[in-house]
Amino acid sequence: MKKKIAFLLALSALTASLASCGEVSYKDGSYEGRSADFINEDESDEAGNGYGVVKIKIEDGKITECDYKTYELDGTLKDEDYGKENGEIKNKDFYQKAQRARSACDNYAKQLVAKGNIDEVDSVSGATVNYNEFKEAVAEALKQAEEK
């Protein structure tokens, strides 16, 4: 619980500081950001543990491309096998929830390109952890792109 609260406080502070800066301009180029590790509150349950990585491309000061992927803590990509046990769907509900969270990654990336602003990206029900990791990773990438 303490880790989750610390993560949310850090994310809120980062969002507030970005919002208070007013208009920020970004250098053209490709940038990558990574979220902090997420650890499930229930230490006996590793479901959802991991982190997110975003890759963005900026042209003429605007985000033109975004790719967002999530990974297990050991670096394994959460792909079409995410939610399976030993390559098999043992719990259909869990697998569907895991895949819904995985597909939300593409949704978040598309919204960012379309809307151009992380604050306008809507969260997807059932994928809140991915959403928070996405926002954190995007903020990290944009920090690198800021013109100073």
- On the question of pLDDT at 140 being above 90, the answer is yes
CA distance linking residue 46 with residue 135, whole number of Å: 22
Backbone angles phi, psi at 2, to 5 degrees: -60, -40
Q: Quote the pLDDT of residue 136.
A: 97
Q: Are 72 and 50 in contact (CB under 8 A)?
A: yes
Sketch out the chain's domains with CATH numbers: 2-145 (3.90.1010.20)
**Which uninterrupted H or E stretch holds 54?**
strand 51-59
Backbone angles phi, psi at 121, to 5 degrees: -80, 125
CA distance linking residue 52 with residue 85, whole number of Å: 21
10-65 pLDDT, tens per residue? 554 454 444 444 578 899 999 999 999 999 887 666 677 999 999 999 999 999 99
92-117 pLDDT, tens per residue? 999 999 999 999 999 999 999 999 99
Q: Quote the pLDDT of residue 46.
A: 66
Q: Quote the pLDDT of residue 59.
A: 96
